[in-house]
């Protein structure tokens, strides 16, 4: 079954009691049993819910996995992965990643004795020197947030496997339509389904997808014990969003390509970060492991002051100033003060995340209108 068919049909059947083509919202907290342990596969809604089950089957198919576990947010999904570890264990991560991921690793789990090391993994060979005897998890984000760096998933996973280390790939920026890390050797794929998978800026959700049944069982135990589950209405909204995932992402990528080249030629723009450029350091890796180059674009200004960035951020009309990404509408953001404010400034500057960097999540509007909006904002 090809991707465009999977998003509509994989794991989804009409409701057997009514024939409803859309999966019903099973808004219930518990399920009646004929006798203790004699039930229809569902006991309590923290553990299982039929709407959630349909979504999990669909997500597993989209990432070519065998199982998916849905969570109340992307960070709740990350939390479950980290709970696979023990005090004294170490995470090796990319040095350019979502601020919330950094915050959870360092400020939440650091106080319990988990160590996090942030390294330049855009050259996969650097992983060998970053690994220590305590390393139990390699955390990859690709494309990264917000510098749009590319990690060679296959190469990183091969090194991690030789050392017996788990790999988790945050695939949020790419979506399952553009990239499938399990096929490249990853053990776990994470999505903030709030973003491209949901796609309509109306629900917060997260998921993990795996191939190994034993690993899935461990993650399900952690989820049930910790309780970070999504509600059935949220699962219904994600299922609804998935049906147009391929259409939305393809259009957004087309728009992003035009915008990236527009910004690249603009006299007031110093640098544009987008993996589709041939001069991007890992452009060839992106070509190999992604279907398209994504709909996220970041750029810095010639006069790179925070004041100039803030003027642009406040001057767009179609690009809405807001956190998040991956919706049908285009968004503009300031990572230094918004999504990445929890990362110390000296660490941000090391990877090029300046106070004037602007991040775009390109939506599905008309590309000409979006370019005109950016042009008038840059003229401010």
Q: What is the pLDDT along the chain (380 residues), one digit of tens a residue?
A: 999 999 999 999 999 889 999 999 999 999 999 898 888 889 999 999 999 999 999 999 999 999 999 999 999 999 999 999 999 999 999 999 999 999 999 999 999 999 999 999 999 999 999 999 999 999 999 999 999 999 999 999 999 999 999 999 999 999 999 999 999 999 999 999 999 999 999 999 999 999 999 999 999 999 999 999 999 999 999 999 999 999 999 999 999 999 999 999 999 999 999 999 999 999 999 999 999 999 999 999 998 889 999 999 999 999 999 999 999 999 999 998 888 888 888 888 888 888 999 999 999 999 999 999 999 999 99
Are 228 and 261 part of one and the same domain? no
Q: How many structural domains does the chain have?
A: 2
CA 72/CA 192 separation, integer angstroms: 10
Are 94 and 19 part of one and the same domain? yes
Last-in-domain residue among 215, 242, 269: 242
The dihedral through the CA atoms of 288, 293, 297, 300 has a sign that is positive
Are 214 and 266 part of one and the same domain? no
Last-in-domain residue among 242, 258, 283: 242
The dihedral through the CA atoms of 245, 246, 251, 255 has a sign that is positive
Residue 310 appears among annotated catalytic residues: no
The 3-state secondary structure of 100-120, one letter per residue? HHHHHHHHHCHHHCCEEEEEC
User: 231-264: b or e for each residue (b if 16 or more CB lie within 10 Å)?
Assistant: bbebbbbbbbbbbbbbebbbbbbebbbebbebbe
Are 263 and 351 part of one and the same domain? yes
Q: Domain range spanning residue 331?
A: 246-378
User: What is the residue-wise DSSP string for 201-258?
Assistant: SS---EEEEES-HHHHHHHHHHHHHHT----HHHHHHHHHHHTTHHHHHHHHHHHHHH
Are 223 and 337 part of one and the same domain? no
Last-in-domain residue among 242, 276, 302: 242
- What pLDDT, on the 0 to 100 scale, is given for residue 41? 86
- What pLDDT, on the 0 to 100 scale, is given for residue 159? 98
Are 182 and 281 part of one and the same domain? no
- What pLDDT, on the 0 to 100 scale, is given for residue 211? 98
Are 254 and 154 part of one and the same domain? no
Total residues belonging to the chain: 380
Of the residues 98, 122, 177, 273, which is catalytic? 98
- What is the Cβ-side half-sphere exposure of residue 321, based on CA atoms within 13 angstroms? 14
How far is C-alpha 277 from the geometric centre of its chain's CA atoms?
A: 22
Of the residues 67, 79, 96, 170, which is catalytic? 170
Are 229 and 251 part of one and the same domain? no
Only one residue has tokens 């049944």, namely 213
Inter-axis angle of helices 367-378 and 245-264, nearest 10: 40
Of the residues 195, 248, 251, 348, which is catalytic? 195
User: If we measure between CA atoms, which residue out of 303, 293, 286 comes closest to residue 258?
Assistant: 293
Residue 170 appears among annotated catalytic residues: yes
Are 201 and 307 part of one and the same domain? no
Are 238 and 250 part of one and the same domain? no
The CATH number of the domain where 88 resides is what? 3.40.640.10
Of the residues 42, 46, 57, 264, which is catalytic? 46
User: If we measure between CA atoms, which residue out of 202, 290, 319, 193 comes closest to residue 245?
Assistant: 193
DSSP run (H or E) holding 367: helix 367-378
CA 9/CA 13 separation, integer angstroms: 7
CA geometry: angle at 105 spanning 100 and 109, to 5°?
A: 125
- What pLDDT, on the 0 to 100 scale, is given for residue 342? 82
The dihedral through the CA atoms of 221, 223, 225, 229 has a sign that is negative
Describe the strand order of the beta sheet including 358-361 as a list of residue ranges.
269-273, 296-301, 358-361, 331-333, 320-321
Are 148 and 214 part of one and the same domain? yes
- What pLDDT, on the 0 to 100 scale, is given for residue 344? 87
DSSP run (H or E) holding 81: helix 74-82
Are 18 and 149 part of one and the same domain? yes
The CATH number of the domain where 355 resides is what? 3.90.1150.10
């Amino acid at each position: 079954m090809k991707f465009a068919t999977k998003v509509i049909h994989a794991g989804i059947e009409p409701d057997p009691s009514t024939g409803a083509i859309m999966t019903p919202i099973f808004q219930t907290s518990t399920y009646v049993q004929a006798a203790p342990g004699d039930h229809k596969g569902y006991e309590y809604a923290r553990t299982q819910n039929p709407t959630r089950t349909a979504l999990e089957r669909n997500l597993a198919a989209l990432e070519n996995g065998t199982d998916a576990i849905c969570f109340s947010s992307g960070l709740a999904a990350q939390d479950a992965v980290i709970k696979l570890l023990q005090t004294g264990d170490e995470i090796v991560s990319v040095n350019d990643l979502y601020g919330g991921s950094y915050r959870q690793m360092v400020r939440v789990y650091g106080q319990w004795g988990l160590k996090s090391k942030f390294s330049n993994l855009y050259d996969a060979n650097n992983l060998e020197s970053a690994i220590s005897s305590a390393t139990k998890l390699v955390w990859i984000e690709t494309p990264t947030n917000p510098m749009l760096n590319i990690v060679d998933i296959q190469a990183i996973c091969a090194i991690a496997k030789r050392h017996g280390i788990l790999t988790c790939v945050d695939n949020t920026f790419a979506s399952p339509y553009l990239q499938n890390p399990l096929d490249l050797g990853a053990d776990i794929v994470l999505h903030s389904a709030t973003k491209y998978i949901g796609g309509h800026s109306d629900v917060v959700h997260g998921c993990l997808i795996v191939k190994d049944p034993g690993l899935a069982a461990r993650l399900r135990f952690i989820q049930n014990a910790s309780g970070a589950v999504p509600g059935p209405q949220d699962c219904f909204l994600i299922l609804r969003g998935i049906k147009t995932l391929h259409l939305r992402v393809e259009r957004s990528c087309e728009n992003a390509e035009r915008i990236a080249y527009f910004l690249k030629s603009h006299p007031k723009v110093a640098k544009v970060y987008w993996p589709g450029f041939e001069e991007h350091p890992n452009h060839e890796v992106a070509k190999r492991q992604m279907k398209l180059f994504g709909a996220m674009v970041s750029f810095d200004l010639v006069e790179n002051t925070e004041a100039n960035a803030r003027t642009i951020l406040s001057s767009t009309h179609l690009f809405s100033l807001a956190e998040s990404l991956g919706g049908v509408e285009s968004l503009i953001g300031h990572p230094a003060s918004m999504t990445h404010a929890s990362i110390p400034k000296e660490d941000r500057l090391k990877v090029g995340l300046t106070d004037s960097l602007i991040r775009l999540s390109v939506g599905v509007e008309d590309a000409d209108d979006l370019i005109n909006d950016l042009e008038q904002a840059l003229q401010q």
